[in-house]
Structure 1
């Protein structure tokens, strides 16, 4: 009887591991999401600059998120793989520059990175371990230089622009149509908040988005200064 109970317990553990592995393997693409800090900080909600320093006036990484072609996504796939900052110690200075947290109170970003790894990164760890996951996101940011793409089209912080022109500028530079997420400033005006690009399951190259998220915006939006 004891052996039988042990066998059941072992099989249950193996099944849980198998389910976690399957969950971590089954996704169709990534959304690579970058955020404009000026639009995060001028809403009715407060923002706080990171403890190292105020970020540069550039898009910052929000996340690299596995998704399914139907628009749903896996999350928190492996509770046995918590964020370990020592695994990305060589990336930390680049992370602070390119993936800063603007949440209050001021912090060094590790809580933000931990959330992104545990909620999203663990669902892709069959192809990307923790270090590879963050390294891939940093490399994608350099590949998709959004601020430069917009500036090349005459779209600079401090003005208002058509949503169509913003999408066109990014498509011309990167080859693929982005999705633009808007939020509202403290006066209720729609503004450029986050830009979504789609990436293949190896997180190495941009692809055509199988599906776009949904959310309100307007035909003319602000691109606030920071």
Structure 2
């Protein structure tokens, strides 16, 4: 009798643990980071880059990703192993993605590996809001809402290898978007800080830019940063 009672207690504990696991996995995220990357800075490093098999991308900011995040600075990842990337679901978006979401990793690729990674690591955590097609379409729409390169050019900030103040870059982007960005830098082969990625925050419907609840812990920039050509 006692053994049956202990067995029942164990089953209840296991059920409770499983329930908590499901509850945690299903926890809604609080906002998205929308991350855009300058290809000139990706390539101007000791690691260098490889152009896609479709050819050299345009000299414009490319999408890196649309990433669900929590207000405490943490983020969910790889939320649904049963929802692998299916390129047939984005066949109508492929040409636009090759233009606006190019891969620069080596060896040269057609983008599928990059997009698959973004969907499986980040996109599956937004399935309560966006299916796979909507996830990629939404990121493309967000890029079209804000023309970063033009915003910087309007402020006299151009990708010619010159250095600009970090504050002037932030101000130009805030003027165009209405919200303060977070700027991530990397370093060129000489160790100089250069404009690499721009983070803007988006609400959970993935339709409106918002003030960032928290900024990421990425590579920070100096007060003066280079804007390399591409």
CA distance in 1, matches of 2:25, 2:199: 23
3-state DSSP class of the match of 2:142? helix
3-state DSSP class of the match of 1:165? helix
Flag structure 1 segments of 5+ consecutive residues without an equivalent: 1-7
With normalisation by structure 2, the TM-score equals 0.89
Establish whether residue 225 from structure 1 lines up as the match of residue 229 from structure 2: yes
1:204 aligns to what?
207
2:184 aligns to what?
181
Match of 1:131 among 133, 136, 139: 133
User: What displacement does 1:216 show?
Assistant: 2.5
Please show how residues 56-205 of structure 1 align to structure 2 within 5 Å: 56-158=58-160, 159-205=162-208
Asked whether the equivalents of residues 69 and 211 of structure 1 are also in contact (C-alpha less than 8 Å), the reply is: yes
CA distance in 2, matches of 1:22, 1:91: 33
Asked whether the equivalents of residues 182 and 216 of structure 1 are also in contact (C-alpha less than 8 Å), the reply is: yes
CA distance in 2, matches of 1:61, 1:77: 21
CA distance in 2, matches of 1:45, 1:37: 13
Number of equivalences:
213
User: What displacement does 1:144 show?
Assistant: 1.5
3-state DSSP class of the match of 1:150? helix
Match of 1:51 among 53, 64, 85: 53
Flag structure 2 segments of 5+ consecutive residues without an equivalent: 1-10
Which is greater in Rg? 2
CA distance in 2, matches of 1:98, 1:48: 16
Give the 3 Å change call, closer, same or farther, for CA 65–24 of structure 1 in structure 2. farther
1:23 aligns to what?
25
CA distance in 2, matches of 1:58, 1:161: 18
Asked whether the equivalents of residues 24 and 122 of structure 1 are also in contact (C-alpha less than 8 Å), the reply is: no
CA distance in 2, matches of 1:109, 1:25: 30
2:38 aligns to what?
36
With normalisation by structure 1, the TM-score equals 0.91
Asked whether the equivalents of residues 25 and 124 of structure 1 are also in contact (C-alpha less than 8 Å), the reply is: no
Write out per-residue CA displacement over residues 61-83 of structure 1, whole angstroms, 9 at most, x where no aligned residue. Answer: 00000000011000000000000
1:216 aligns to what?
220
